[in-house]
Structure 1
Amino acid sequence: MKNKMGEEKSHKRSKDEHNSPESSARKPSLRQAIELITSLISISHSIKVFPVKWQSIRNKLDELLSGLTAVENCDFGDIPSLSAAVRGITNTLTESYDLARRCVDLSFSGKLLMQSDLDIIYAKFNGHIRHLSEIYTAGLVTHEYAIVVSRPGLGASRDDMKFYVKDLLSRLKIGGTEMKRQALVAFNQVISEDEKYIKIAVEIGNFIGLLVNFLDSQEAEIQEEASKAVSMIAGIDSYKNVLVGAGVIAPLIRVLESGSELGKECAARCLMKLTENSDNAWSVSAHGGATALLKLCSNGDCRCELVVLACGVLKNLLGVEEIKRFMIEEGAISVFINLVRSKDEVLLINSIEFLQSMAFGDESTRQMIELALKAALRLCGTSEEAKKAMGDSGFMPELVKLLNAKSFEVREMAAEALSSMVLVPRNRKRFVQNDQNVGLLLQLLDPEDGNSGNKKFLLSTLMSLTSSNSGRKKILNSGYLKNIEKLADAEVSDAKKIVRKLSSNRLLSMLSGLWYS
């Protein structure tokens, strides 16, 4: 009996010692560390001095809180490195409490010394975060320890949304491959439905940086989901600089070079949004982006959608003259002249638009694109939808400019393409809205001027224009109407048809005027 009572007393004494403050100090728990961090964050908000430094420290405390909360239910006695990390964090928190108290009471001896002490504390917290990240990356903490938070419902409070995003961050940090993938999928779902989640993610330290790091993942699915995420974030103007500041451009280009097909598409879509800013265009070019994109466009095995996206990024890069020159030297014109032979209409249109942009304001480059006109001509013969798309994309003003080109072949192709495009009512209406267009066609029909395009196609274009009231009025009011009358007198069949149509409508107009007078 005595032995049994002695054992019970011994066990009780051992238990009391385990629960004593001294014992807790020797082996702090995750819960204690989390409570200390939460308390210190709260106290720091009441500090009026050194606000910038305390804000930086608070950001690090938020990161630590996120990392520790993820493994709160972990029996870390089995993970010595995590146990040691928690001890170190607790020691630093104790030091921080002392500094915080002195800052609140204004009882520090000197500003310079306190600033130095705060810098040291900041560096220590930064080191703890890196150490935790190394532990998680090493896979010592597995998914069975992670707390999985349910996704907030519609109309959830901002605090609930923030808690959910922090949980996703924790899973991204400590989870294995599948857990990381699921967390990224979940993040992409919520940001696609509610932009407020993006704002919260941007505000949480290291979240965007972690997404950027995942772009270099060897796991295709993780890389793809990370590419989707940054592409959606890039769609909001105010967050583009956040991504660029996190170093997103270089890894995006690496995805273009060696990622999966889906990853490449997401990366190209993100770069297209980012390069709307010319400063970012420079950065893309500096990291070899122009070369990588041209390589994609010349790869016949790539899906059309990817090539269209790559074309969009390159078109943005053309806004910087030096990059444009570099692309010409890299053979961009030949790459896109090959693309205009594509049977895919969307790709074909985008390719010709790129060539148009490249030729804009540059006569020498424009001459290098006679071949592109052939493709435009062929496209005009494919379908009415293709002609509409070309009209909407601004092809007609460019074709009108080429009606005065030095090369007869270029003038002829431009006239033929134009005659085909104005067969579509929407294009015809758009064409006659510009008074100079009709006048130029009539001017080029001067029988005494041998420097015109093919008269057959110019007359065909005018014939189409006579089918609308506005077109007929523009022709009748033009100072060059006599040119078509001369051709009609010379027995040019199409010219005679146009004159008859104009005369008939003029007579009907006169009769109508008499009838109603």
Structure 2
Amino acid sequence: MGEKSRSYSTSKQVQESAEESLEKRSIEHAIQLISSLISVSHSIRVFAVKWQCIRDRLEELLSSLTVIENCCDNSIENPSFIRTLKSIFSALKECDDLAKTCLGLSYSGKLLMQSDLDIVCGRLSDYTKSLSDIYTLGLLTQNYAIVLSRPNLGASKDDMKLYVMDLLSRFKIGCADMKRDALISFNEVIQEDEKYVKIAVEIASFVSSLVNFLDSNENEIQQEAAKAVSVIARIGNYRGVLIGGGIIAPLIRVLESGSQLSKEFAAKCLLKLTENSDNAWSVSAHGGVTALLKICSHCDCGGELVGLACGVLKNLVGVEEIKKFMVEEDAIPIFIKLLRSRDAAAVSQISSIDFLLTMASGDETTRQMIIKEGGVCALVRVLDPKLPFPSKAREMALKGIMSFCFSKANSFNTLLNYGFLDHIMYFFHYGDVSVQELALKAAFWLSGTSEEAKKTMGDAGVLPELVKFLDSKSLEVCEMAAETLYSMILVPKNRKKFVQNDKNVGFLLQMLDHLEINSGNKKLLLSILMSLTSCNSARKKIANSGYLKKIEKIAESDHNSDAKKIVRKLSSNRFRSIFNGLWHS
């Protein structure tokens, strides 16, 4: 059948229906006419955007009427509904006339036609709202509801779309229970198959319905809507649709007054949306910063929610003006208090450290404010082995300590007063592997701060602990231990202390046999041994150990400068010993 023939057929149906008595005009007839118009609209090649909008409104109207047909008696006598249905038939006839004109390209002017299309589109939208109002007020008799079964896995796109359209119609004209159940069903299918998300965001008004539900007075409806948008926000391509639907302001309102679960879902959604810094201003403009800081200031809000709020604020802090506003709103003391709190969950404390580090990054003024507010003391407290902080929190705290203290001349003494070195030594002795490596990172950093720090570390017993790491399975750990050891034995006092333990030098020599000739760690070991040769007792131990030939071989094979220096130094000492023996004989 040709395009004009189909349009004529549809027009004839509409006209005949309009001539019937009102009693004979049924919902079923309206559904048939709308379906025919939707089909015809796909054949129209002019004013494509306008007809897409009309098609969307027709699909919404179709969904609404379908639900009413399924949920109510077909012989409806309510005057409001009858008047609306009569108006719908009139709009359908007008829409069909416009379709026929566009198919035949027989319109008199583009501007006039565009205006007519806008008018009919607006009318269709109004009728959908009218049906929703009539249904919501309980003016129709609800006997039973035919709920479409969820399509099986692997169902066709058409079946999936039909199911989503049915859910949308229940969003629009269902009672509170029906809306809640439809939202639950939607959340179930989008968790199982991401394709449903794509279908939903492509259907006009679906996202806007979800956004409207965020302001619902029904806790369950608000919660399920917040859950749905948080899932949609995971998919980067669809975040723009949520933003276009005006979601920011309702999400902030949920954070201010929603249930605990609703707040968590709203925060998850904002966390994804604010990955794009362009959305930061919108969050700030709607009072989001204040709402998020309020959550962070109350540890009893729940660990996950506080952690999520910290994450959103971290995304926002990249905008300098918003960062200044946070500082004015006492963000720094709020987060340091959160870090110190015994009631705060681990995830909250980890997030608070991360936030403070982000705030201080590249900003000396903010860094000094954090230090002044007691931030370093709070971070050292996280390392206290008597407190039940997880390894991740301790790692973040150490990162923060290094960031805040590295450039301060008196930082080491400050850390000593807070018990920092005592905590590090405890982890060396009693910590698990991950915590011991954390202590090694701390020792590596401390050894580079000052000469005084190296002496104090040597007195505290750090040297033997470093030796233990030299045969670690992790190459990174081995190299860090070797570099730290080398840095520390440059101090004469530490060198003497190291050599006094016979096992230390012997262990270093044994390590040479287990390493490849050109490995970076072997070069570090040779540098350490070279440094030790300035000590008489160390030279004797190396010379008498039987490893001198090994060092000579290394010096010959890879021309290692430190190996050559060791050989020359030990050889000259042997020559002097022989000469002195002959002189005194």
Would the alpha carbon gap of residues 457 and 363 (structure 1) be closer, same or farther in structure 2, given more than 3 Å must change? farther
TM-score, normalising length from structure 2?
0.75
Q: Which moved more, 1:339-348 or 1:454-463?
A: 454-463
Give 2:307's aligned residue: 308
Taking only aligned residues, the RMSD between alpha carbons, in angstroms, comes to 3.2
Q: Which moved more, 1:370-379 or 1:292-301?
A: 370-379
CA positional deviation for 1:453: 9.2
CA positional deviation for 1:498: 9.3
Pair 1:446 & 2:451 matched:
yes
> Conserved in 1, the CA contact under 8 Å of 2:18 and 2:90?
no
TM-score, normalising length from structure 1?
0.84
Pair 1:473 & 2:482 matched:
yes
From 58, 63, 68, the counterpart of 2:60:
63
Kindly provide the CA deviation profile for residues 380-404 of structure 1, in whole angstroms up to 9, marking residues without a partner as x.
2348994631466484375266143
Kindly provide the CA deviation profile for residues 198-237 of structure 1, in whole angstroms up to 9, marking residues without a partner as x.
1111111111111111111111111111111111111111
> Conserved in 2, the CA contact under 8 Å of 1:476 and 1:502?
no
CA positional deviation for 1:270: 1.3
SS at 2:151 equivalent: coil
> Conserved in 2, the CA contact under 8 Å of 1:85 and 1:131?
yes
Q: Distance in 2 between matches of 1:281 and 1:234?
A: 15
Pair 1:34 & 2:31 matched:
yes
Kindly provide the CA deviation profile for residues 65-112 of structure 1, in whole angstroms up to 9, marking residues without a partner as x.
111111124335232212211111111111111111121112222223
SS at 2:353 equivalent: helix
> Conserved in 2, the CA contact under 8 Å of 1:276 and 1:316?
yes
Q: Distance in 2 between matches of 1:118 and 1:42?
A: 17
Q: Distance in 1 between matches of 2:256 and 2:116?
A: 46
Q: Distance in 2 between matches of 1:498 and 1:268?
A: 59
Give 1:331's aligned residue: 330
Matches for 1:47-62 after TM superposition, within 5 Å: 47-62=44-59
Would the alpha carbon gap of residues 218 and 196 (structure 1) be closer, same or farther in structure 2, given more than 3 Å must change? same
Kindly provide the CA deviation profile for residues 34-64 of structure 1, in whole angstroms up to 9, marking residues without a partner as x.
1111111111111122112111111111111
Give 1:135's aligned residue: 134
Q: Which moved more, 1:132-141 or 1:83-92?
A: 132-141
CA positional deviation for 1:289: 0.6
Give the paired residue count.
485
CA positional deviation for 1:341: 2.0
Would the alpha carbon gap of residues 216 and 359 (structure 1) be closer, same or farther in structure 2, given more than 3 Å must change? same
Q: Which moved more, 1:452-461 or 1:214-223?
A: 452-461
Q: Distance in 2 between matches of 1:160 and 1:54?
A: 23
Give 1:376's aligned residue: 379
Q: Distance in 2 between matches of 1:113 and 1:315?
A: 52
Matches for 1:31-430 after TM superposition, within 5 Å: 31-73=28-70, 74=72, 75=74, 77-141=76-140, 143-144=142-143, 146-343=145-342, 344-370=345-371, 371-382=374-385, 386=389, 388-390=391-393, 393=396, 395-396=398-399, 399=402, 402-408=405-411, 410-412=414-416, 413=418, 416=421, 425-426=433-434
> Conserved in 2, the CA contact under 8 Å of 1:47 and 1:103?
yes
CA positional deviation for 1:415: 5.0
What letter matches 1:446 in structure 2?
E
CA positional deviation for 1:454: 9.0
Q: Distance in 2 between matches of 1:169 and 1:252?
A: 21
> Conserved in 2, the CA contact under 8 Å of 1:380 and 1:387?
no
Give 2:583's aligned residue: none
> Conserved in 1, the CA contact under 8 Å of 2:264 and 2:308?
yes
Q: Distance in 1 between matches of 2:331 and 2:499?
A: 45
Q: Distance in 2 between matches of 1:20 and 1:263?
A: 48
Could you tell me which runs of 5 or more consecutive residues in structure 2 were left unpaired when the two chains were aligned: 1-15, 471-477, 513-541, 554-585
SS at 2:20 equivalent: helix
Q: Distance in 1 between matches of 2:324 and 2:226?
A: 30
Q: Which has the larger radius of gyration?
A: 2
CA positional deviation for 1:28: 2.2
Pair 1:486 & 2:490 matched:
no
SS at 2:127 equivalent: helix
Would the alpha carbon gap of residues 498 and 218 (structure 1) be closer, same or farther in structure 2, given more than 3 Å must change? farther
Q: Which moved more, 1:71-80 or 1:104-113?
A: 71-80
Q: Distance in 1 between matches of 2:123 and 2:69?
A: 22
Q: Distance in 2 between matches of 1:204 and 1:368?
A: 50
> Conserved in 1, the CA contact under 8 Å of 2:467 and 2:504?
yes
What letter matches 2:227 in structure 1?
K
Give 1:492's aligned residue: none
CA positional deviation for 1:502: 4.7
> Conserved in 1, the CA contact under 8 Å of 2:41 and 2:99?
yes
> Conserved in 1, the CA contact under 8 Å of 2:467 and 2:481?
yes
Kindly provide the CA deviation profile for residues 421-465 of structure 1, in whole angstroms up to 9, marking residues without a partner as x.
67654466588799xx84x64444425xxxx59934996555533
